[in-house]
Amino acid sequence: MMDAPDLPLWAAVLVSLCVVGGAAFTLIGAIGLARLSFFYDRVHAPTLGATLGAALILLGSALCASVLQSRFVAHEILIAVFALVTTPVTFILLVRAALYRDRAESNEGVPPLN
Amino acid sequence: MSALILGWALLAAQIMLGLAMALAVWRIARGPRAQDRVLGLDTLYVNAMLMMVTFGIRTGSTLYFEAALVMGLLGFTATVALAKFLMRGEVIE
Q: Write out pLDDT tens, residues A30-87.
A: 999 999 888 888 899 999 888 899 999 999 999 888 888 878 877 888 888 988 899 9
Cβ <8 Å between A34 and B7: no
Domains of chain B, residue spans:
2-88
Residue B87 has a pLDDT of 85
- Taking the domain B2-88, which CATH number applies? 1.10.287
Q: Is the pLDDT of residue B23 over 90?
A: yes
Spatial separation of the C-alpha atoms in residues A42 and A27, rounded to whole Å: 14
Domain ranges of chain A: 11-104
d(CA B47, CA B21): 6
**Tens digits of residue pLDDT in B35-63:** 899 999 999 999 999 999 999 888 888 88
Q: Are the Cβ atoms of B20 and A19 closer than 8 angstroms?
A: no
Residues 48-77 of A with CB under 8 A from B: 49-50, 53-54, 57-58, 60-61, 64-65, 68, 75-76
Instruction: Output the CA–CA distances (angstroms, integers) from residue A105 to A39, A109, B31, B42, B72, in the order listed.
Output: 15, 12, 18, 25, 33
A105 CB-contact burial (10 Å; exposed 0-12 / middle 13-18 / buried 19+): exposed
Q: Please state, as a whole number, how many other Cβ atoms lie within 10 Å of the Cβ of residue A13.
A: 15
Give the pLDDT confidence of A38-52 residue by residue, as tens digits: 888 889 999 988 889
Residues B15-38, mean pLDDT to the nearest whole number: 91
- Reduced to 3 states, what is the DSSP secondary structure of residue A5? coil
**Using omega within 30 degrees of 0 as the cis cutoff, is the peptide bond preceding B32 cis?**
yes
pTM over 0.90: no
Alpha-carbon distance of A87 to A52, in angstroms, equals: 12
